[in-house]
Structure 1
Amino acid sequence: MWAGVRILFLWKVTRIVSVTKTNWDDYLLQVGFFRRLAHLFPGLFLYYTNTNFNLETSAAYAFIYFSASLYLIVTSFLVLQALISGIDKIYQASEYAKKAPITGFIQVARLLVTIMMIFLIISLLIGQSPIYLLSGLTAIAAVLLLIFKDTILGFVAGIQIAANRMFNEGDWIEIAKYGVDGDIKEIGLTVVKVQNWDKTIATIPTYALTTEPVKNWRGMTKTGGRRIKRSINIDMKSVVFASKEDLSRWSKYNFLEKYLHRKSLELAEDEKKTESEKRDLVNARKLTNLGTFRAYVDNYLKEHPFVHKDFTCMVRQLKPSEVGLPIEIYCFTTTTEWIAYENIQSDIFDHILSVMPSFGLRVYQRVSDKSKSE
C-alpha cells in the first residue's frame, strides 16, 4: 500500500514541478528530496497510530515505537541532506555564486545534521532525552575544541570570506608560504583546493586565506588589463649627447617626428634666452640619445595596439647600479590571457632591444662579445 502511495505522490509532484516556471523545484527533484520525503509517511503513520493498538504495556508497543522513531530519524536525516544538496544546487545556479562561495556553510550544515542524527539515535537507544546528552558535553568541551579546531577556524574563515567577498572559486591566487600559484577549485570547510599552473592540486587550510599573505589576481582579471613591469639595464658609457646627424636621422622615425620638432622649438627658444651661454657645451640644453630613446619607446607603447590606453603607461629611469642604468617599461596589456600576454610582452622587448643600437645605446650584461674583444 505504502509503495502505491509513494508512487502516486511522486507522480503528482513530478507533474507539478514540470509545469512550474521556477527552477528551484527542479533542482529539489534532481537531488531526490521529494522521493525521500515520501518515505516519511509510513513512519509517521506508525508513530502516531501506535497508541490505537492498545499495546502500551507490551513488548510489541516498545518495538513498534522504537522502530518507527529510528525510521523517522534516519529518513529525516536523508531528507535534510537532500534539501541541503538542493539549496547548494540552487545557489550555484544563481548569479550570487560568482560573488560569494557557500561550500563551507553547506559542509557545516551537513555536519550539524549528522551530529543531530547521532545524538537522537543515541538518546533513543539509551532511553534518555537529547538534552541529557547535551548537558554532558560541557565536560568534554575542551577535547571537542581540539578535535574540531580546524573545523571551527575554517567556519569562521568561511564567514569572513563570504561576508567580505575576499575569494571565490576560479580566482587566481598566490601564497608563497605554501608554494601555491593557481586557480581556486573549491573552498571547503577545512581545506581549499587550488590547481597550480603545473596541473598539480594543492590543498591548504581554509583559515590560511585569512591569516597568511595571499595575492588575489581577480582585480587584474576584472579590469581587463595585465601589467608589464620590466626593465632593461643600459650601459652608462653609451649615454652621450645627440649630434645634428643623429637628430636628422631620428626625425625620420614616426614615433619621434613630433617629439623632435617640439624639442627643437624649445631649444631654439632657450638659446635666445641664454645667448651668452649658447657655446657652452656643459650648460647649454642638448638632447641625449637616452632621453630620445625613452621618448621613442614611450610613443611606441602609446601607439601599440595591444597596450591599454586607459591605464598608466610610462618609461622611466630607475636608480643606477653596478649593472648599469635600468630603464623600466611600465604599462598594461589589453588582455589578461596568459599566453597572449607573454607574446605581447616579448614582442615589445624584442622591438626595444632591436632599436637600441640605432640610438647608440648598449645593453649592459656581465659577459658579452664586446667585453671579450676589449
Structure 2
Amino acid sequence: MTEQKNQFFIDYLTSMGVSQSLAEYLNLFGLFILTVLLAFLLDLLIWKVLRIITVRIARKSKTNFDNFLVTNRVPRYFAHIIPLLLVWEALPFIFLNFSYLGSIGSKLTLVIGVILTLQIISSLLRSVNDYLKTLERFKDKPINSYIQVFMIFAWIAGILTVFAIVTGTSIWKFFTALGAASAVILLIFKDSILGLVASIQVSINDMLRIGDWITFDKYGADGNVTEINLATVKVQNFDKTITTIPTYALISDSFKNWRGMEQSAGRRIKRSLIIKQNSIKFLNSEEVESLKRVQIIQRYITDRNDKINSYNTENNRDKSLVINGRNLTNIGVFRKYVETYLENHSAINKKMTLMVRQLSPTPQGIPIEIYAFSSDKRWENYEYIIADIFDHLLAAVPYFDLEVYELPSTFSIQKEK
C-alpha cells in the first residue's frame, strides 16, 4: 500500500513531463520536507499541551519534585518522543526508492533516539538530585557523585550503542574490544575511577558531608564544603574564595573535619601564658595575707595555708629558711586562680574538660596552658570569649608578682640602660 501511494506521486510528476529520476528526487524532497514540518508542528503542539498540564500540576501539587521536573526540562524532552516515532515510521515511505539513503536516515534517527534517551535520563536524575537536596536527611549527602557515576556508565553504553548503530555491528563486539583496550581506558579514565573510589569511601565512612567545615592545608582550604562531585570537592573559604580539591585527595592525604566540634557541646580553648621563670617564688606570710584579698581564691588560700602550717609544725620544719617544709608559690596560687576564674565564667562549658596545666619549661619560660571548652561555638563569639579571658588574665598576672615573657623591644633595652 505504501509503495502504491509513493508511486502515485511519482507517476503524477512523470505525467507532467518530469523525468523518472527527477520525479523520484522531487518526491523524496517533498516527502522529507513534509515529514519534518509535521514532526516540528507535532512537537510544538505536544510541548504546549504538556507545559500547560505540568505547570498546573506543579502549582497544585504539595511536593516540589514536579517543579524540578519542569525546571530541568523533562516534559520538553518527552515531547520529542512522538515526533521522533513519526519520523521513524515515515522513513520507509520517504526513502522507498532510495534504500541507501533510507539506511542512513534510519541510523541517524536511531542515534537521535539514543541521545534523546540520555538527555531524558540526565534531566530526570538532575531533578531527583535537586529534590533530594531539599530533604533534611539528604542535604549533606554527596548525591552528585552517585549521579555522575551512573551517567558515566549511561554515556558509555550510549556511545557503544551509537557505534554499533553506525557500523552495523553487534554491541558485544565492542565489549570484547574494550577488554583488549582496558589499559588505555584505565589511563584515560584514571581520574574518574579514582574519584569514584574516593566518593564511595567518603560516603561509606561518612568522612565528609556538604556543609562540613574542613581545613586542608595542602590545598589552602579553610571553610565549608559546598559541593561534592565525582572528581572534585568545592570548599568556600571564610574569605569567600573557592578552593577546589580532588576527591581522591580526601583519602590519600590528611585533612581536618570540624564536624565533631560543631556537633559537640563546646569548642576547645587551648592557649598558654608564658611566665618568666625568674619571677616565680615562694610566698611569705605577708604576701599570703595580701592574696587572701582576692575573693575567688580566698577560701582556697586560707585552707591551704592552714594545712601547710600544720604540716610544718607537726614535722618541726625550720621556717627561718623559706625553702624548708611546704610553701605556697605565686605560680601555684595563680594556676588555682585561673582555674577558679574559668569555673565561674559563664561562657565556659563546665560539663566538658576544664583544666589549667603547667607545661614543660621552655627557653622563654613556663607555659601555663588553659584547656577548656566554650559553650558558644560560633567563630566570632568564640574569639571574643578567648580575648575576654586572656585580657583579664594578662591584667591579673602582676597581682601575683609574676611576669609574662615577651621579646625585649628597643625601648625596653634603652630603658634598662
1:157 aligns with 2:181: no
Instruction: Decide which of 130, 133, 136 is 2:177's aligned counterpart.
Output: 136
Match of 1:191 in 2: 232
CA 1:125–1:306 in 2, change beyond 3 Å: closer, same or farther? same
Match of 1:313 in 2: 354
1:322 aligns with 2:390: no
Q: Secondary structure at the match of 1:361?
A: coil
**Higher relative contact order (Cα pairs below 8 Å, separated by 6+ residues):** 1
Match of 2:5 in 1: none
- Structure 2 counterpart of 1:277, which letter? R
Match of 1:12 in 2: 53
In structure 1, what is the Cα distance between the partners aligned to 2:299 and 2:189? Answer: 69
Match of 1:247 in 2: 288
Q: Secondary structure at the match of 2:230?
A: coil
**Contact between 2:95 and 2:101, CA under 8 Å: does it hold in 1?**
no
1:147 CA drift (Å): 1.0
Match of 1:29 in 2: 70
1:129 CA drift (Å): 2.6
In structure 2, what is the Cα distance between the partners aligned to 1:28 and 1:221? Answer: 35
In structure 1, what is the Cα distance between the partners aligned to 2:386 and 2:125? Answer: 48
Kindly, what percent of the aligned residue pairs are identical?
Answer: 36
Instruction: Decide which of 115, 126, 133 is 1:74's aligned counterpart.
Output: 115
CA 1:71–1:277 in 2, change beyond 3 Å: closer, same or farther? same
Q: Where do residues 107-256 of structure 1 align in structure 2 (5 Å cutoff)?
A: 107-256=148-297
- Which structure 2 segments of 5+ residues have no match? 1-40
Q: Secondary structure at the match of 1:158?
A: helix
**Contact between 2:54 and 2:66, CA under 8 Å: does it hold in 1?**
no
Q: Where do residues 245-324 of structure 1 align in structure 2 (5 Å cutoff)?
A: 245-271=286-312, 273-274=314-315, 276-277=316-317, 279=319, 281-324=322-365
In structure 2, what is the Cα distance between the partners aligned to 1:291 and 1:50? Answer: 96
**Contact between 1:229 and 1:330, CA under 8 Å: does it hold in 2?**
yes
CA 1:89–1:184 in 2, change beyond 3 Å: closer, same or farther? same
Deviation track 1:250-277 (CA, whole Å, cap 9, x = no partner) reads: 2222221232233234335435643x22
In structure 2, what is the Cα distance between the partners aligned to 1:160 and 1:319? Answer: 41
1:121 CA drift (Å): 2.1
Q: Secondary structure at the match of 1:228?
A: strand
CA 1:45–1:261 in 2, change beyond 3 Å: closer, same or farther? farther
How many residues align structurally?
373
**Contact between 1:171 and 1:216, CA under 8 Å: does it hold in 2?**
yes
**Contact between 2:221 and 2:243, CA under 8 Å: does it hold in 1?**
yes
**Contact between 1:225 and 1:333, CA under 8 Å: does it hold in 2?**
yes
**Contact between 2:305 and 2:328, CA under 8 Å: does it hold in 1?**
no
1:318 CA drift (Å): 0.6
In structure 2, what is the Cα distance between the partners aligned to 1:129 and 1:179? Answer: 50
1:89 CA drift (Å): 0.4
Compute the TM-score of the two structures, normalised by the length of structure 2.
Answer: 0.81
Q: CA RMSD for the aligned pairs?
A: 2.7
- Structure 1 counterpart of 2:52, which letter? W
Deviation track 1:236-258 (CA, whole Å, cap 9, x = no partner) reads: 22111222222222222222123
In structure 1, what is the Cα distance between the partners aligned to 2:333 and 2:94? Answer: 103
Deviation track 1:59-103 (CA, whole Å, cap 9, x = no partner) reads: 565355334323321221211110111111012111233442222
Q: Secondary structure at the match of 1:79?
A: helix
